[in-house]
Structure 1
Amino acid sequence: MTSVPGRRSSTFTRLLRHGFTDPSAAERLLDLPELASVRSDPVLFDALGATADPDLALHGLVRLTEAQEPGERRVLLDTVVTAKPLRDRLLGVLGASEALGDHLARHPRDWQALVTYEARDLHPGVTEFERMLAGADDPDSLRVAYRRALLSIAARDVCGTTDVAEAAAELADLATATLRAALAIAEAAAPADAAQCRLAVVAMGKCGGHELNYVSDVDVIFVGEPVEGAEETKAMQAATRLAAHMMRVCSDTTVEGTIWPVDANLRPEGRNGPLVRTLSSHLAYYQRWAKTWEFQALLKARPVAGDARLGAEYVEAVSPLVWQAADRENFVADVQKMRRRVVDNIPVDRIDRELKLGPGGLRDVEFAVQLLQLVHGRGDASLRSGSTLDALRALADGGYVGRADAAQLDEAYRFLRTMEHHIQLHRLRRTHLVPEDEADLRRLGRSLGLRTDPVAELDRAWRRHASVVRRLHEKLFYRPLLDAVAQLTPGERRLSAEAAVVRLEALGYADPTAALRHLEALSSGVSRKAAIQRTLLPVLLGWFADSADPDAGLLGFRQVSDALGKTPWYLRLLRDEGAAAENLARVLSAGRLAPDLLMRAPEAVALLGDPEGLRPRGREHLEQEVLAAVRRAPGAEAAVAVTRGVRRRELFRTAASDLIGSYGTEDSPAEADPGALVDRVGQALTDLNAATLSGALRAAVREQWGDTLPARFAVIGMGRFGGHELGYGSDADVLFVHQPREGVGDEEAARAANTVVTQMRRLLQLPTADPPLLIDADLRPEGKSGPLTRTLKSYAAYYRRWSLVWESQALLRAEPVAGDEELGRAFVELIDPLRYPVEGLGDEAVREIRRLKARMESERIPRGADPTLHTKLGRGGLSDVEWTVQLMQMQHGWAEPGLRTTRTREALAAASAAELIPHEDAATLDEAWVLATRVRNAVMLVRGRPGDTFPSNPRELAAVGRYLGYEQGHVGDMLEDYRRITRRARAVVEERFYGAAG
C-alpha cells in the first residue's frame, strides 16, 4: 500500500472524509498485516466513520485483532465486515470507550458477547444479567464478567437501540445482579456467618431509582436480623462481616480494575453509625433523629440483594416516614439549604464545567422533582417513583407541573444525562465535568450525533439545555400555583386549590388561603400587567419563601403593585432589571420598617434597580436638597413635611441597602465585615438626622425672622447622634447653644433661641405615620430643670462650678450637627478640657464612674429582662463596651490624639494601637459592640419599633436571625452565639473597667 504514492494520497483523503483526525497514523495502522484482508473494504471505512472517534475505534480494532489467536483473527475480521449489526456494535463501543477497548484487548474473546442481538436481548433485566454473571465465584472473575455485561449495555447505548433512561435502568439492573453475586461470594467465604443472620441490601440513590451512571458509587443501606434461635449481637456482627466483605468485592482494585465503590454512608449516623442495623433500630433512628435530607434519600430506597422479604419490610416500614417529611418543621428551608450547600462547595474554577452539581445541572432537575414529590406525594401515591423521569411524567399527569415545562425538562435532562454517560464511558471514570480538551469534546459531540462542527454544536446545545434547566428549576416549584388561580392553560389539568395550599404551606406560608387570594389578584386576567406579574411571581414566590415571613413579602408585593401597577416604569423595572425584583422581594419579606416606608412612598422602589440607588447620600448632599426644599415651601409646616419626605425616602434607602447587604444575593454578596455594615448604617442615619434638623431649624427661623435669627444658634449632637452611631430607632440626643448677634441683647437672643427650639420640636412632632425623630435635650446642664439653650458663657460657668464626672463623660460624644458652624467649633473648644482632662482622671473620679455604672446595671435594666440578651444594659452589651472605652478616653485622651473622637469603634482601635488595651481584648469588645448594634437595628427593621432585646415572637426572631446571617431554624445558634460573644466581652470589661488602675 505504501509503495504506491497515489494510493496513499487517496487513502489519506478518504480517512479525512470519514472523520479521522490523524489520517497518517490511521494509514500506518491499516498497513499492518493483521488488517490485510479488510484494509480496502469501503464497509469498514463507513463503519469507522460512523463512530464517535474513528481514530480510537481503528486503534481498538487493531489491538483486539492482534490479541486474537491466528485462527480466530480471521473469524473476527470476516464477522466485522459481513455482519452489520455486530460491526456497528463493536466499532461503536471501541470508538466511544477506550476503557472497554482495553478490556477487549485483555480478554479478546469477550467481543463475542456482542454477537447475539435478538429482540430478547434488547432490554435485559436482572435475571438476564445474573445469567451473564453466573459462574463468577471470585472477585476477579466477577470483575471480568461485569465488564463483559457492560459491553452489551454500551453497545445498545452507542448504537441508539436504547435511550438514556433505558441504559440507566440496565446499568442499575446489572448493579443489582453484581451486588447479589458479590454477596454470594461473601457468604461462600463465611458460611457460618451466613447461617446466623438475615441480611438485606437496600439500594439508594441512582441505583435505587433505576437510573445509574456507567461509573458511580452504588449507595446502599444494610438491614440485618438474627435467624431464629441466634443471639442478636453475634448475628449482627456476622451480618457486618458479610456486608463489609461484599463491599470489598465490588470496591477493591486489582489487575482487572474495579467494579465500582459501594457507599454505605447514607445509613443512619453515616460513617459513625454501625454498618448494619436491625429494622427496629433503623426505625427508631428515623423517627427520632433523622434529618430532612435522609428522608429525601429514602425516596429512592429499593431492596436489591440478600433477604428479599426483610428488604421489602424495610421499605414498607420507612415509606410512611418519607411521605410525612414535608410536614417537618423547617422542611423547605432544610431542602433549600442542602441545594445551596452543594453549589457553594463547587470550586470556582470548575463550576462552569460541572454537568451534575452546578446551576442548570442534573441535580437541579432531581432536586426540583424530589421536592415536588415529597410535598405532593403525601396525598398522591402516583408520584412515589424513584426514577426522576417517571416522577416528572407523573407530576405532569397530575397537574403539578405544566406539560410543556415537563416536556422541556425531560428533554434537557435526557440530553445532560447522555452527555454524562458518554463522558464517563470513555475511560470508565467517575466524573461529571465536561472536558476541556478539544479532542474529547469532539468525540463527545460526535457521540451525540453532532457532525458538522461537533465542538461548537455541543457547546451550544449544552448551554441551551442548561439554561432551560436553570429557568425551570426556579419556576417549577412555584408556577403551578399561578395556574391554579389564573387558569393560564385552558384544557390542561391544573393544580387544585387544595394542592396549591399544600404547596404554599410547604413553602412556609402561614396563611396559604390568603396567599392564594393575593396570587389571584395579581395574576388573573389578560392585561399586560397580569401577564408580567405571571412572569415575575414564580421567582418572587421563591425569594419570599427563602425569608422568615413569606406571607408579609407577598402581601407587601401586592400592596406595592396595587399602588404602582398602572405606572409604566414599575413592572418594566422588575422585569428588565435583574436585581430590582430580588431586592424588592428581600426588602418586603424582611420585616415591617422598610415595607411601611415603601407603602408611604411606593415610587422609592425605583431605587432598587440601580446599584448607585442603594448608596446612602452624604450629609452635604442631603442638606442641600432639604434646604432648597424649605426655601420653596410656603410655610414652616409645609417645609417640614417636605423634609420628612426626604427623610422617609432616605430611611428606606438605608434600610433597603442594609437588608440587601445583610442577606446578599448572587450578584451582591453579603457584606463581609459586619462592622463596616454597622458603620455605614450609623453614618447614613446620622447624616440624615442632621440634615433633617437643619431643615427644621431653617423652617423655624424663616417663619418668624426670615433669613436671620437674632442669635447665632448651633445644635450639638450627643450620645449616638454625636458618635455617628445612630440606629433606626434612636432618638436625637442634642444640646442647644446660642450667642447674641452684634447689637442684640442677651434676653432677646435667649427668647429667640428658645422660640426656635420650641418650634423645631413642635414641627418634628406633628402627627405623622413616618418614624418619629424625637429631639431629646435631657443631657443639658441641670437636665429637665435647666434652660433648653444656653450661651457659651453660661455653659462655661456651669461646667466650671457644677459639672459632675458623668457630664464630662457624656460630652465625649458631643459634636456639632446643625446650625452655626463657627459657634459649634467654639463649643467643642470649650468642652475639650472637660472630656480630655490634662493628666487624666483622679482616683475618686474613676471610682465615681464605676459606681455610676454599677448602679445603672442594677437599677435600669427592665424587670424580668434576661441580662444575657439585653443589648444595651445587659452583660457585655453596648453600655459595657462604651463605658470601658470612654474611661480610657478620659484617662488618656489628653496624651493620645487618636482617642479624641466621638466614635466608639474608632476610639477602641486607637486605644489598641496605643497599647492601652491588648489587641485581643479590643477585638472582643468590638465584636460584641457590633453584634449588639446589629441586633438593635434588626429588631427595629423587623418589628417597626425599637427594642433592646430579641423578639419573643418566633417569626420575628427568625427574621432577626436572617438579618444576622443565620439560616431558618437556627435561632438557637444565634442566641447561643450572642451569649458567648457578650460573655467574653463582659470578662474583658470586668478586668479593664472594674479592675483597671485609677
Structure 2
Amino acid sequence: MSDVDVVYVVEPEPGYDEEYATAVGTRLATGLMRACAAPSGEPPLWAVDAALRPEGKQGPLVRTLASHLAYYERWAKTWEFQALLKARPVAGDPELGRAYRDAVDPLVWRAVERDNFVEDSQAMRRRVEDHVPAAEAHRQIKLGKGGLRDVEFTVQLLQLVHGRADESIRSPNTLTALAALSDAGYVGRAHAARLAVCYRFLRALEHRIQLYRLRRTHLMPTADADLRRLARSLGMHAEGDDGMVERWRATRREVRTLHEELFYRPLLPATAQLSEEEASLAPEAARARLAAIGYRDPAGAMRHIQALTDGVSRRAAIQRQLLPVMLGWFADGADPDRGLLAFRKLSDELGTTPWYLKLLRDSGFAARRLATLLANSQYVADALARSPESVAWLDDDADLAPRDLARLDAEVDAVLTRADQTQPATTTLRAVRRRELARTAAAELLGLTDTVPAMEAISAAADVVLVGALRIAAYDARAELGYGTSPDESPTNLLVVGMGRLGGREMGYGSDADVLFVHDPRPGVDPGAAQAFALSVATRIRTICGALGAEPALAIDADLRPEGRNGPLVRTLDSYAEYYERWSSPWEAQALLRARSVAGDEGLAARFVALIDPLRYPDGGIDLATVREIRRIKARVEAERLPRGVEPTRHLKLGRGGISDVEWTAQLLQLQHSHDVPELRTTETGVALRAAASAGLLAADDADELFDAWLFASRLRAANVLWSGRPTGQAVDVLPHESRNLAGLAAALRFDGSGGDLEDHFLRTARRARAVVDRVFYGEG
C-alpha cells in the first residue's frame, strides 16, 4: 500500500514551444493522478505522490529536462540527490527517460562533493526521526529508530560516498545495493547479511499489516487479535504473537546498532571531502596530492600505496577505501612518510587477520587514532609492529587506560604461579612491562591520559617487574643453594627499595630503575650464608631485568647505595643503620627523600622506613651548614655534569629551570620542614611543591612556576622518546634545535602551536622557574 512517488518530465517536439509542452504535460500528469487515485466505482489503484519534484509541492508539477537540471545544479538539497538515486523511467517516451537518467546520474554521483554532504544526510535522518509523533515512535516500522529507513539511509549514504568511483554499487534496489557494498568491501559480510535479514523481516511485517483491509499504515498493531493474526500471516505459529513482537524488538535494536556503526563512520565525511581522483587514488592526482599535503617523498609513498591496494582481493578493496582518507590523516601528523611506511609494515603483518581492516573501516575512531600514532611516534610505531594485536586497543578508551598496580600485580602473580621455567617466566614478565609502556604511550599521545598519570603507570610497570624478578630470583637462588622451593625457606628476608624517579613514581619511557637492596637474616642463619644468598638474588634481579633478550630491558641502577659503586651491592638492615649513623652525607639524606618500598618483605620494609625517616625528615630540620653544602653540591652538578657542547638553557634535566632545579628546590624544603609539616613527607615532586605552598613555605605563584617548568620538561623528555623511538641517549634530555624535530615534539605533545612556539614556551617557562630557584634554593634576592 505504498504511495507511488513520481517526477514528471516533458520535452517539446519540434514545432512546439516549452510553455505549450509544459501545459500539455501538466494536463496529462493531472489526468494520470486522477485515474490512479480519484474516487470511482472501483477502489483506487494507489496514491500518486509528486512531492519529490523540484521545489516540492510549491513547484510546477511538470518541468522540461533543462528546467530539472537547472534546479538540481543550483538549488537542490542533499536529500534530493539521495532520492534521485532510485529514479528510473517508468512510463512515457523511452528516449526522454534515458536522457533524463544520463543527465541526472552524474549529478547524483557528484553530490558527495557538496559541502557538508555527509553531515546533511545524517541530519536529514535525524529530522525524519524527530517528526515521528512521540505516541507512535515505539510502533513505527518504517520511519522510527531501527526501522526500514535506517537500513535505506545507511545503504544510500554508503552508495553516494563510494559510488562516484565504483559503479558496481549503484543499484537503486536496497538489497542488491547492500550485497554489492558487501562484495566490494564497503560493508562487512556479517553486517550486510544481518541487515538484509532484518530488512526482509521489516518489509514482511509492513506488507502483512497493510494487506489486512488494505490500509496504508506503518505502525505495529497493539490489539492481541491483530498481533495473533500478524504472527500467523508470517508463519510464526510456534513463536506466537509474543515471539513475533520480541523478534521485532530485537530486529529494531540490531538495525539501530548497525545503522549507527555504519551511518556515522568518520571515514564517510572524510572521504566525501576528497575529489573523485583523490578518492580513486588515480596515480597522477595521488602524487600531486601527496606533494601538496606534506609528504617529502611522494614517489616512495606511491610505492607503498600501490603495494597496499594492488589486486582484486577484499583486503586490497578495503585498503582502497581507507588510504585516500588516511593519507590526509598521516599528513596531519609530523611525519606522514614515516606514518605511511609504518602503516604498510603493520598491514603486511596483519592484513590477512580478519579483524584488522574491519576495525579500521568500521570503528568510530581506530583508523584516525592509528594514523595519528604512526605519524607522530616512532616509539609507538615500533611497539605496534612488535605486538600488532595492540591495534585493537584503539577502538576502546578503556583498553588504552593505564593499568593500576593492583591489576598488574594480579596478572604477574598468575603468570608466575603457572611458570615452571625461569627464561619463559622472565620473558613474559618483561613483556608485561613492554605492553604497558606501549599502552601508556598511545594513551598519552592521543590525549587520553596526562603526564603525571602516565609517569605513574610507567613506574607501576617497573614495580611489577621488580616484584616478579625478586620472586624468580629468590626461587632460583634457593634451588641452586639448596634451601628448598618455599619462600619460607629463604635464609634472609629481602627488600627492594625504589629510589630516584622510580621511588617518586615519576619514571619516563627510558628511565633506569634506581634501587637499594636490603636483607635481614632470619634467626639462627649464618650471616655469611645470608649475605651470599642475598647477593645471589640481587645479582639475578639485575640479570632478569636488564639482560639482553626478546623483550626490552629495565636497567637496574644501584649506585645510590652506601659507598656507591665501591660498596657492597646488598647490605643487611643493621649495616645500613650503622652506615647512616656514622657516615651518611647530606646528599644521601636527600636521595632517601624518594625512597619507597617496591618489592619484598613488608615487615622489613616498615623497619627500613623507620630507619631512614629520621635522616630524611630530621628533627628541627637541617642546619645552615648542611643547606650550604647542598647548595654547593648543586652548583657543582650544574658546572660539571652538564654534557659538553649542550647549552644550559636547553638541557631538560640539568639545565637552568629544568627538572633538577625544581626537584632540588622541593627536596631542600622537605629537608628543612618535613619534620614539622607531615604533608611534605612524600616521594613525589608535585605533591611536595603543593604541600610547601599549602604550608606557606612557598608562594603559590612560585609553586606554580616550579611545577609548570618541571612538568613541561618531563613532558618534553617523554616526547623526545616518543618522537624518535630512542629511549636512551643524550638526546633524550636535550631540547633539539632542528625545526623538524621541534615540530615532531609539538605533535607528540599535542601542543597548540608550531615547533618554534614550543621552543619559546619552554625557554620562557624555564627562565621563570630559574628565577624562583635562585630566590628559594640559592637564597638570592
- TM-score, normalised with respect to structure 1: 0.53
Choose from 839, 842, 866 the match for 2:623: 842
Alpha-carbon distance between aligned partners in 2 of 1:415 and 1:847, rounded to the nearest angstrom: 67
Q: 1:824 aligned to 2:621? A: no
Matches within 5 A, 1:919-938: 919-938=700-719
Unaligned runs of 5+ in 1: 1-42, 51-91, 97-121, 123-156, 169-354, 361-402, 420-432, 442-452, 485-494, 662-669, 672-676
Q: 1:678 aligned to 2:460? A: no
Alpha-carbon distance between aligned partners in 1 of 2:288 and 2:500, rounded to the nearest angstrom: 51
CA contact (8 A) 1:901 1:907 kept: yes
Choose from 804, 810, 825 the match for 2:585: 804
Specify the code of the residue in structure 2 equivalent to 1:960. L
Deviations 1:132-171 (A, max 9, x none): xxxxxxxxxxxxxxxxxxxxxxxxx9x9795365689xxx
Q: Secondary structure at the match of 1:163?
A: helix
Matches within 5 A, 1:415-814: 471=268, 473-477=270-274, 480=277, 483-484=280-281, 495=282, 497-661=283-447, 677-705=450-478, 706-708=485-487, 709-768=490-549, 770-814=551-595
Cα deviation for residue 868 of structure 1 reads: 1.6
Alpha-carbon distance between aligned partners in 2 of 1:844 and 1:809, rounded to the nearest angstrom: 15
CA contact (8 A) 2:270 2:325 kept: no
Alpha-carbon distance between aligned partners in 2 of 1:862 and 1:415, rounded to the nearest angstrom: 54
CA contact (8 A) 2:117 2:269 kept: no
CA contact (8 A) 1:867 1:875 kept: yes
Q: Secondary structure at the match of 1:757?
A: helix
* Residue 459 to residue 817, structure 1, CA distance change in 2 (3 Å): closer
Deviations 1:69-102 (A, max 9, x none): xxxxxxxxxxxxxxxxxxxxxxx9xx89xxxxxx
Q: Secondary structure at the match of 1:578?
A: coil
Alpha-carbon distance between aligned partners in 2 of 1:854 and 1:785, rounded to the nearest angstrom: 25
Q: Secondary structure at the match of 1:841?
A: coil
* Residue 958 to residue 513, structure 1, CA distance change in 2 (3 Å): same
Alpha-carbon distance between aligned partners in 1 of 2:344 and 2:534, rounded to the nearest angstrom: 48
Q: Secondary structure at the match of 2:593?
A: helix
Choose from 685, 701, 710 the match for 1:904: 685
Specify the code of the residue in structure 2 equivalent to 1:514. G
| Percent pairwise identity | 47
Cα deviation for residue 483 of structure 1 reads: 3.7
Q: Secondary structure at the match of 2:446?
A: helix
CA contact (8 A) 1:164 1:414 kept: no
Residue equivalent to 1:24: none
CA contact (8 A) 2:547 2:553 kept: no
Alpha-carbon distance between aligned partners in 2 of 1:685 and 1:654, rounded to the nearest angstrom: 7
Choose from 64, 67, 71 the match for 1:163: 71
Cα deviation for residue 722 of structure 1 reads: 0.4
Cα deviation for residue 499 of structure 1 reads: 3.8
Q: Secondary structure at the match of 2:669?
A: helix
Alpha-carbon distance between aligned partners in 1 of 2:645 and 2:115, rounded to the nearest angstrom: 62
Q: Secondary structure at the match of 2:497?
A: strand
Matches within 5 A, 1:115-264: 162-163=70-71
Structure 1, 880-889 or 705-714: larger mean CA deviation: 705-714
Alpha-carbon distance between aligned partners in 2 of 1:601 and 1:412, rounded to the nearest angstrom: 39
Alpha-carbon distance between aligned partners in 2 of 1:406 and 1:609, rounded to the nearest angstrom: 36
Deviations 1:769-807 (A, max 9, x none): 644310000000000000111111111111111000010
Q: Secondary structure at the match of 2:647?
A: coil
* Residue 406 to residue 589, structure 1, CA distance change in 2 (3 Å): farther
* Residue 474 to residue 868, structure 1, CA distance change in 2 (3 Å): farther
Alpha-carbon distance between aligned partners in 2 of 1:479 and 1:626, rounded to the nearest angstrom: 52
Choose from 410, 415, 418 the match for 2:111: 410
Choose from 736, 741, 744 the match for 1:959: 744
CA contact (8 A) 1:478 1:541 kept: no
Q: Which has the higher contact order (CA 8 A, sep 6+)?
A: 2
Cα deviation for residue 534 of structure 1 reads: 2.0
Deviations 1:642-666 (A, max 9, x none): 11111121111111111111xxxxx
Alpha-carbon distance between aligned partners in 1 of 2:275 and 2:300, rounded to the nearest angstrom: 16
Specify the code of the residue in structure 2 equivalent to 1:624. A
- TM-score, normalised with respect to structure 2: 0.67
- Over aligned residues, Cα RMSD in angstroms? 4.0
CA contact (8 A) 1:564 1:570 kept: yes
Cα deviation for residue 478 of structure 1 reads: 7.8
Cα deviation for residue 839 of structure 1 reads: 0.6
Larger Rg: 1
CA contact (8 A) 1:679 1:725 kept: yes
Alpha-carbon distance between aligned partners in 2 of 1:437 and 1:605, rounded to the nearest angstrom: 36
Q: Secondary structure at the match of 2:519?
A: strand
Cα deviation for residue 953 of structure 1 reads: 4.6
Specify the code of the residue in structure 2 equivalent to 1:707. S
Q: Secondary structure at the match of 1:682?
A: helix
Cα deviation for residue 743 of structure 1 reads: 2.4
CA contact (8 A) 1:836 1:893 kept: yes
Deviations 1:255-304 (A, max 9, x none): xxxxxxxxxxxxxxxxxxxxxxxxxxxxxxxxxxxxxxxxxxxxxxxxxx
Unaligned runs of 5+ in 2: 1-22, 31-54, 80-103, 132-142, 144-148, 162-265, 479-484
Cα deviation for residue 572 of structure 1 reads: 2.4
Cα deviation for residue 952 of structure 1 reads: 4.3
* Residue 475 to residue 819, structure 1, CA distance change in 2 (3 Å): farther
CA contact (8 A) 1:623 1:691 kept: yes
Cα deviation for residue 867 of structure 1 reads: 1.6
Deviations 1:210-242 (A, max 9, x none): xxxxxxxxxxxxxxxxxxxxxxxxxxxxxxxxx
CA contact (8 A) 1:412 1:465 kept: no
Choose from 858, 879, 889 the match for 2:670: 889
Q: Secondary structure at the match of 1:787?
A: coil
Deviations 1:696-732 (A, max 9, x none): 1111122231232321101000011000100101100
Structure 1, 876-885 or 592-601: larger mean CA deviation: 592-601
Specify the code of the residue in structure 1 equivalent to 2:312. V
CA contact (8 A) 2:280 2:324 kept: no
Residue equivalent to 1:324: none
Alpha-carbon distance between aligned partners in 2 of 1:512 and 1:839, rounded to the nearest angstrom: 68
CA contact (8 A) 1:475 1:538 kept: no
Residue equivalent to 2:652: 871
- Aligned pair count reads 572
Residue equivalent to 1:329: none
* Residue 465 to residue 847, structure 1, CA distance change in 2 (3 Å): farther
Deviations 1:834-855 (A, max 9, x none): 0011111100011111111111
Alpha-carbon distance between aligned partners in 2 of 1:521 and 1:475, rounded to the nearest angstrom: 24
Q: Secondary structure at the match of 2:549?
A: coil
Structure 1, 635-644 or 458-467: larger mean CA deviation: 458-467
Alpha-carbon distance between aligned partners in 1 of 2:106 and 2:269, rounded to the nearest angstrom: 7
Cα deviation for residue 734 of structure 1 reads: 0.5
Specify the code of the residue in structure 2 equivalent to 1:559. K
Q: Secondary structure at the match of 2:505?
A: coil
CA contact (8 A) 2:330 2:372 kept: yes
Cα deviation for residue 475 of structure 1 reads: 4.9
